[in-house]
Amino acid sequence: MDCSEGVCVTCSDEAIPVTVIRLVDPGLAVVDTGGVAEEVSVALVDAAVGDTVLVHAKEAIAVIGRGDGDEHA
Protein backbone atom coordinates (compact mmCIF):
# COMPACT_ATOMS: atom_id res chain seq x y z
CA MET A 1 0.00 0.00 0.00
CA ASP A 2 1.30 3.44 -0.90
CA CYS A 3 0.98 5.98 1.88
CA SER A 4 0.75 9.69 1.17
CA GLU A 5 3.45 11.85 2.73
CA GLY A 6 4.67 8.94 4.85
CA VAL A 7 1.36 8.70 6.75
CA CYS A 8 -0.68 5.54 6.47
CA VAL A 9 -4.42 5.78 7.10
CA THR A 10 -4.41 2.12 8.11
CA CYS A 11 -1.58 1.96 10.63
CA SER A 12 -0.81 5.52 11.67
CA ASP A 13 -0.84 6.32 15.38
CA GLU A 14 -2.69 9.55 14.68
CA ALA A 15 -5.91 10.57 12.99
CA ILE A 16 -5.49 12.42 9.73
CA PRO A 17 -7.96 14.70 7.94
CA VAL A 18 -9.23 13.42 4.58
CA THR A 19 -11.99 14.46 2.19
CA VAL A 20 -14.92 12.19 1.35
CA ILE A 21 -15.10 11.88 -2.44
CA ARG A 22 -17.74 9.15 -2.77
CA LEU A 23 -20.10 7.16 -0.55
CA VAL A 24 -19.90 3.50 -1.56
CA ASP A 25 -22.69 2.10 0.60
CA PRO A 26 -24.00 2.81 4.07
CA GLY A 27 -21.01 3.02 6.34
CA LEU A 28 -18.32 2.99 3.63
CA ALA A 29 -16.73 5.84 1.69
CA VAL A 30 -13.88 6.57 -0.68
CA VAL A 31 -11.67 9.38 0.61
CA ASP A 32 -8.81 11.44 -0.81
CA THR A 33 -5.73 10.94 1.35
CA GLY A 34 -3.65 13.45 -0.54
CA GLY A 35 -3.78 12.19 -4.09
CA VAL A 36 -4.55 8.58 -3.18
CA ALA A 37 -8.13 7.27 -3.02
CA GLU A 38 -8.81 4.79 -0.24
CA GLU A 39 -11.91 3.14 1.23
CA VAL A 40 -12.66 3.84 4.89
CA SER A 41 -15.54 3.18 7.24
CA VAL A 42 -17.84 6.12 7.97
CA ALA A 43 -20.19 4.05 10.12
CA LEU A 44 -19.50 6.12 13.25
CA VAL A 45 -20.06 9.56 11.71
CA ASP A 46 -22.66 11.50 9.73
CA ALA A 47 -20.48 12.14 6.64
CA ALA A 48 -21.35 13.25 3.12
CA VAL A 49 -19.43 13.85 -0.10
CA GLY A 50 -17.15 16.84 0.31
CA ASP A 51 -16.91 16.59 4.10
CA THR A 52 -13.55 16.47 5.84
CA VAL A 53 -13.31 13.64 8.35
CA LEU A 54 -10.63 12.52 10.78
CA VAL A 55 -9.58 8.93 10.05
CA HIS A 56 -7.71 6.56 12.33
CA ALA A 57 -7.11 2.91 11.37
CA LYS A 58 -9.46 3.19 8.36
CA GLU A 59 -12.31 4.43 10.58
CA ALA A 60 -13.69 7.97 10.36
CA ILE A 61 -13.97 9.14 13.96
CA ALA A 62 -15.19 12.74 13.50
CA VAL A 63 -16.48 15.18 10.90
CA ILE A 64 -14.35 18.32 11.15
CA GLY A 65 -15.66 20.23 8.14
CA ARG A 66 -18.78 20.17 6.03
CA GLY A 67 -18.38 20.19 2.25
CA ASP A 68 -20.79 20.94 -0.55
CA GLY A 69 -22.45 17.50 -0.52
CA ASP A 70 -26.24 17.40 -0.84
CA GLU A 71 -27.00 14.60 1.60
CA HIS A 72 -25.54 13.39 4.86
CA ALA A 73 -25.40 9.64 5.52
> Using alpha carbons only, what angle is made at residue 45 by residues 72 and 29, rounded to the nearest 5 degrees?
70
Q: Are 70 and 48 in contact (CB under 8 A)?
A: yes
- The predicted-structure confidence for 11-28, as pLDDT tens digits, reads as follows 657 889 999 999 999 899
Assign domain 1-73 one CATH number from 1.10.10.60, 3.40.50.970, 1.10.3130.10, 2.30.30.140: 2.30.30.140
Its pTM stands at 0.77
Average pLDDT, integer, range 25-48: 95
Average pLDDT, integer, range 19-44: 95
